[in-house]
A = this chain, B = another copy of it.
Amino acid sequence: MSDAPATKARTAMASITFTPSGETIEVPLGTSLLDAVILCELDVPAPCAGQGRCGRCRVRVRAGDVERRSNAGLVSAEILDGWAVACQTYVTGSIEVEVPERRRETVRPHGHAIAEPESLPLTCDWRQDPAVRTFELDIEPPSLADNTSDFDRLRRALAQQHGIEEVRAELPMLRRLGKDLRMANWKVSVTLEMRDWVYDAYLPPRLIRIYPGAFRHASMGVAVDLGTTSVVAYLLDFATGRVVDSASAYNKQIACGDDVISRIIYAKRKRGLERLQHLAVETINDLLDELQKRNGIELYEIHEVTVAGNTTMTHLLLGLDPQYLRAEPYIPTISASPVLEAGELGLRANILAHVHVMPSVGSYVGGDITAGVISSGMFATDKLTLFIDIGTNGEMVLGTKDWLLSCACSAGPAFEGGGVGDGMRASPGAIEDVFIADDTLEPTFRTVDDAPAVGICGSGLIDLLGELFVTGLVDKSGHLDRSAPTDRVRVHDGVPEYVVCWAGEGGADHDIALTESDITGLIRAKAAIYAGFEVLCRSVGVDLADVEEILIGGAFGQYINIEKAIRIGLLPDQPVERFKFLGNTSAQGAYAALLCVNIRHDVLDVAAKMTYLELSADNSFMDEYTSALFLPHTDLSGFPSVLAALQKRGNGSDAPRATT
């Protein structure tokens, strides 16, 4: 009937109506419900990014038929009630789908644990030399006898009054220049970015802002730590060089997967990369909004932004395809990012504000680590130093000011509470600190914000495992002693577990417990990290005992109890005074680069100088990993303090728990 060319076979379509949003979408038959949900930008959790593993992308089919390829995690009653796993359910005709509303945990407020300049252990000369500066100018008005252009006139005044010989400006500034100068009667303040990021020795200062009269408006920078889970932003006043405020939030990309691998998989979907990029920007924008409102500053008063993040996060922020980060041989598109403008990325700052992204070393050693090496000061020290950032991946750097060697070990999400039955992030109610009495085998614990216990966060898991081990409730292989004289050790659904908090005691409606399979996951995680230390040291021919300083960075690191981490073999058994907690080194490095322009060269140097050891190409890693799959390690000679503690308590490493 139609005379349109039939060059393309028609795809049969079906419509989906979503409740409660009311949105309707036409999709080809065979589309997964998760893809449809994503096209409508509805908020459905997909921690495993549609691999059908996590079962969390539940939606309810209220009308119409679908094809279910898997009902993973659903019980019969739920399936009868229409519940479906969105990523495993496919459209076969028009349907109505309910998307349940989500409650979102709020990020744990870290009590504004901001590192002030004074507290950063940097040894180089970096204080208060920002790229962004403001100058007052008294420009000679033009006349018939002196008809130099407005911009050349401004240049001349900058040279004469401030010794700045050259300046450049982009269209948005030039478009308002004529009016601005005349409205101000030729007396203005101009904000310049004095030097650029990569080619800054060469390019003249750049005009970012102009306003009438004397220097009185705010000139601010924002340093962002773009984490896979949490994003933190620090607001810096360029006039004083002080941090004024900070804000943090979950990375909104969590809706597209909990870890970097899930997000890389998500990025393969139609518009997936676009959405991830948008969510990264939106997360940062919310923080910018919050900082602006709380401090009474205007969008255009934010004049520079630095961002530190792992390689996947920075690729996603820039909209770079992350697929090659995940596939062997794990290649990033770039290590050093070009200088970007806030307007180009869609960040809510002055559109001309430059965005400087910290350079990475490899696919799994990113800008968060180069920033950390900078903020830790290890790039400028003679001492043999080990820098550690533990999260989903354990990244570590060994070296001195003369050389730097790095690697990354996949620890999995265990230390962030993932993959553990009662694991959770460090939000209120998370058990973060545990002690088990030798005699009663009863635990005492502390929770985040002293809220009723609802689960166990990373530091609590390390504590708990360490306590279970030294009390003999868990043996070196990670098996629970089922004969222990306590009802807290029990077998539930065929799996042995230790109950740390009874249902009635805390805020959870069930017993909070650590199972043997949770323990296996934790042991694997700590083994991967410890093996990394060993391989790093071995490959340069030093011993872990030779390391003079062990610097612990990263957002998670600051909550680790060193003694207990050593006890389970996560950290090397070295004197406690060799360890230093540095806090959020990624954010601190971004902040340092904002405050001191020379740091930007240092961080590029660090990224260029650092050697990246790809562990999957290193045969010795698997040996070291296998040796570390015990508590604390197969080779107890490396853990003298643990051995001593065990012996003191009478719990020999091989002996079953001595009953009291």
Partner-B contacts on A (CB < 8 A): 142-153, 168-171, 174-179, 182, 198-199, 202-204, 318-321, 323-324, 328-335, 338, 340, 344, 362-363, 612, 614, 616-617
Contact = CB atoms under 8 A, between A and B. Distances in A.
Nearest to A170: B338
Contacts of A332: 149-150
Contacts of A320: 174-175, 178
A182 B324 CA distance: 10
B617 A145 contact: yes
A146 B151 CA distance: 48
A157 to B, nearest CB: 14
B168 A198 contact: yes
A351 to B, nearest CB: 12
A434 to B, nearest CB: 40
A177 B362 CA distance: 16
23 contacts: A143-B329, A144-B329, A144-B614, A144-B616, A144-B617, A145-B614, A146-B329, A149-B335, A149-B362, A150-B332, A151-B333, A152-B335, A168-B199, A168-B338, A170-B338, A171-B338, A171-B340, A171-B344, A174-B320, A175-B320, A177-B334, A178-B320, A199-B202
Contact of A338 (B169, B319, B331): B169
B171 A318 contact: yes
Given A150-B324, A152-B334, 5 more contacts: A144-B329, A144-B616, A150-B334, A178-B331, A179-B321
B324 A171 contact: no
Contacts of A340: 171
Which residue of A149, A168, A174, A176 has the most chain B CB atoms within 10 A of its CB atom? Answer: A149
A334 B149 contact: yes
B143 A324 contact: no
Contacts of A330: 144, 147
A146 B612 CA distance: 10
Contacts of A170: 338
Contact of A174 (B177, B178, B318): B318
A147 B612 contact: yes
Contacts of A363: 147
Nearest to A173: B338
A65 to B, nearest CB: 38
A182 B328 CA distance: 13
A186 to B, nearest CB: 11
A167 to B, nearest CB: 11
Contacts of A318: 171, 174-175
A323 B147 CA distance: 15
Contacts of A146: 329
Nearest to A364: B147
3 tightest Cβ-Cβ pairs between the two chains A and B: A202-B202, A144-B617, A144-B329
Nearest to A204: B199
A445 B199 CA distance: 63
A83 B26 CA distance: 51
A615 to B, nearest CB: 10
A329 B178 CA distance: 13
Nearest to A150: B333
B614 A175 contact: no
A178 B344 contact: no
A176 B324 CA distance: 12
Contacts of A148: 331
A149 B199 contact: no
Contacts of A182: 324
A150 B331 contact: yes
A333 B177 contact: yes
Nearest to A311: B149
B171 A331 contact: no
